[in-house]
Amino acid sequence: MKKWQFMLASLLLVTASASATCNLTVRNSLQSCYIGTRLYEVLVPTLYTSNGAMLIAYHGKGDTAANFSSTSGLISTAKKYGYVIVFPQGEISDDGTRTWNGYWNPFFIKTPPPDDVTFTASIISTLESALAVSPKKIFLTGFSNGGWIEHRIAIELGTDIAAISTMGSGPWIEPYNQHDAMPAALTPVSVLIFFDDSGVANGGSLYCGGLYTNDNTTRAGADDSFNFWTAADKATPNTSTQLCTSEGGSPTSLSIKSSTGGLSNTVVQFYRLIGGIHKWYAATALNISPGTKTYPYNPNLNSTTGTTMVDIVSKFVLAHPKP
């Protein structure tokens, strides 16, 4: 963690200690904690031991920490694998819904916009100290807008983050005709990417990116996500075939793509959810052919990779700590 982040996190730790209602000595019980006025929920499972792992899970736009903690299925896998699970809560946007301030947030007009990166840095600092979490085993996951902020946090806090997993989210969204350059990732990070292939929905294709006419934004798609992190990690892709015919085009025949041999042993793993929709699939089996909205399909999923979203996420991140 950078010096300025550590100093700020230390200051916020005093605030958190003064206002928090959580008791981190309690096991297997979800606690509501605060950094200043900002809420995050945390559960420390019975199986957790010192120098263990922590997974921070970000809800989608319009959701809450409480709802995502109860519906995501991640509490069960945290108890199963023995890692600390954390559910931060986004701030309320001017449109009245909770969201995250990723690159580049066309939904937040409030001033100043929330600093979700520093919020996350403070959660990490607080729980590393309180629970003796390993600094090599801090992971992120999230859905949609929650996955979007993950990309930003991994880029800016990569020294603290070992691996991330995103569902249905690219690294940026911006107003149409706005073209910002993505900042370089400071540190290589392993990345697991899920994208449903529901095609054109709500006025645009999330899978293949491009113009999303529903809100007149341009969105990063599957190829943007995969290619950004492959380049950032200096990893080698297993194929030159792209996931889409073009930006805003159609999915190709690929259902899986990976890049390996990245700096610090990082990898990038992509899974297409055939027949799926923009949804966090929790404990739903994802290996049932042919693929529907209820049971999206990927033929490459098995007992080794995991067959449910929460199990796949858990196995992937736990296998990719920092060296």
Residue 199 pLDDT: 61
Residue with tokens 């109860």: 70
Tokens at 261, concatenated = 């041999």
Distances 13 to 30, 54, 125 between C-alpha atoms, Å: 19, 18, 8
Q: Which residues pair with 138 in a beta bridge?
A: 54
Residue 287 pLDDT: 96
In angstroms, the first-to-last Cα distance of the chain is 16
CA dihedral 138, 142, 145, 150 (to 10 degrees): 20
Residues 6+ apart with CB under 8 A from 181: none
Q: Calculate ∠ Cα 157-163-166, nearest 5°.
A: 95
Structural domains for the chain: 3-318 (3.40.50.1820)
User: Rounded to an integer, what distance in angstroms lies between the CA atom of residue 222 and that of residue 211?
Assistant: 14
Residue 179 pLDDT: 85
Q: Which residues pair with 54 in a beta bridge?
A: 84, 138
Amino acid of residue 177 = N
Residue 318 pLDDT: 98
User: Rounded to an integer, what distance in angstroms lies between the CA atom of residue 173 and that of residue 153?
Assistant: 15
**Short-list 213, 212, 247, CA closest to 227:** 247
Exposure letters 53-91 (e unless 16+ CB within 10 A, then b): bbbbbbbbbebebeebbeebbbbbbbbebbbbbbbbbbb
Residue 248 pLDDT: 83
Pairing of strands 91-92, 31-35: unpaired
Segments of the chain with pLDDT less than 70: 1-20, 199-205
What are the tens digits of pLDDT across the range 289-311?
999 999 999 999 999 999 999 99
Residue 204 pLDDT: 52
Residue 154 pLDDT: 98
Residue 212 pLDDT: 80
Q: Is 293 exposed, middle or buried (0-12, 13-18, 19+ CB in 10 A)?
A: exposed
Pairing of strands 190-196, 268-273: parallel
